[in-house]
Amino acid sequence: MMPKAKSNFVSIFGLLEVGAVLICAASLAAFLAKSWWVFELACHFRPHLAVVLAAFSALWILLKRRRLALTCATFALINCLFVGSLLLPAKNVAPASGSRLQLVSLNVHTPNQRADLVLKFLRDSDADVVLLMEVNNRWMDELLPLKTIYPHCVAAPRKDNFGIALFSKLPLAETNIIELGEAEVPSVTTQIILDGRKIFLIGTHPLPPGSAEYARMRNDQLAKIRELVKQQTLPTVVIGDLNMTPWSPYFSDLLKGTGLKNSSQGLGVFNSWPAGLQWVGIPIDHCLVSPEFFVAYKQVGGRVGSDHLPVMVNLQIARTESMRP
């Protein structure tokens, strides 16, 4: 019996060694995200990789496996640096006075039957502008009570998971439903009239990168968003379920190519999916804003029956001279 026990002991720790090596390999694969769509998936789980590798490092320290401990600790630190970069303070400061704009973004999840929870959340949040994704005709019927609060609405409901709707208390101008890229899924573009000032907004929901084709079409849509934003002279907001985390190189490309900033910068990591596992979830619902905006606060709301959690952002923008009393 003793030899058998020893054999089991060796095999268990052998499997742990293999697991540690695979997690380190996943951390390396994340750096090759643009070479293969599968590698990009590792980018989205950098916090998880950091935690698992830190645990492995502690285990190898206890077992006096110094080389393995150092390797796991190194990769844990690398992943922590990526996550920690999101916590660095944003460079802008709050204007002395300005207009406030509160936004909500929520992927309601097409089969979700809890419209009552969605309506209650939206009433309680009292946002100025609400973007809802995955709406179909049933959802638009369920959302009819919002019309008394949000008189301005544009929607493109669909049977699949890519219907979209924008509700606003504020007047809108030049509002359109457009298709960006080859995926042929709808996005909303509009100009929000805030205290006499126009703000350009794109509400969008690219495909999830669950296959090579879907990843390519998502990236194509992101490229079209970059082009559209670069044409703007107005303060700009891009909001929606972007189906990527801040650690994806395609997210970085979107920011660098447009001059937009992540509204989460300096405020934290706002995991929005999956809703039932928030503490181990990932942040894929975003609000990106041009430099004119100061992000007063950002938070994730409670569960509303969807697989996503709602995201709330409160923005402030300085008044222009023409707007001053």
> Domains, the chain, ranges and CATH?
2-85 (no CATH), 98-323 (3.60.10.10)
Question: What does the alpha-carbon distance between residue 308 and residue 243 come to, in Å, rounded to a whole number?
Answer: 11
- Per-residue pLDDT for 280 more than 80? yes
Predicted confidence band of residue 7 (pLDDT cuts 50, 70, 90): low
Mean pLDDT over 308-325 rounds to: 77
151 in Cβ contact with 162 (< 8 Å): no
Task: Give yes or no for residue 173 having a pLDDT over 50.
Answer: yes
Residue 1 has pLDDT above 50, yes or no: no
Q: What pLDDT is recorded for position 96?
A: 65
- Tell me which long-range contacts 61-67 makes (C-beta under 8 A, separation of at least 24): 63/13
Structural element, H or E, at residue 115: helix 115-125
Nearest to 275 by CA among 315, 223, 237, 310: 310
User: What value does the mean pLDDT take over residues 227-242?
Assistant: 97
Write down the pLDDT at residue 92: 73
Instruction: Determine contact, residues 295/321, Cβ cutoff 8 Å.
Output: no
User: Is 298:314 a contact under the CB 8 Å cutoff?
Assistant: yes
pTM of the model: 0.92
- Give me the helix-helix angle, 66-85 and 2-29, nearest 10°: 30
pLDDT tens per residue, range 160-171: 999 999 999 999
Position 91 scores a pLDDT of: 78
3-state secondary structure (DSSP) of residue 236? strand
Here the tokens at position 13 are 């720790």
Contact 69, 60 (CB under 8 A): yes
- As a whole number of Å, the CA-based R_g of the chain is 22
pLDDT digits (tens, 9 = 90+) for 131-140: 999 999 999 9
Percent of the chain with pLDDT over 70: 94
Range 248-275 average pLDDT: 97
The predicted model gives 29-47 an average pLDDT of 97
**What average pLDDT is seen over the chain?**
93
pLDDT digits (tens, 9 = 90+) for 180-232: 999 999 999 999 999 999 999 999 999 999 999 999 999 999 999 999 999 99
Query: What integer pLDDT is reported at residue 320 of this predicted model?
Result: 61
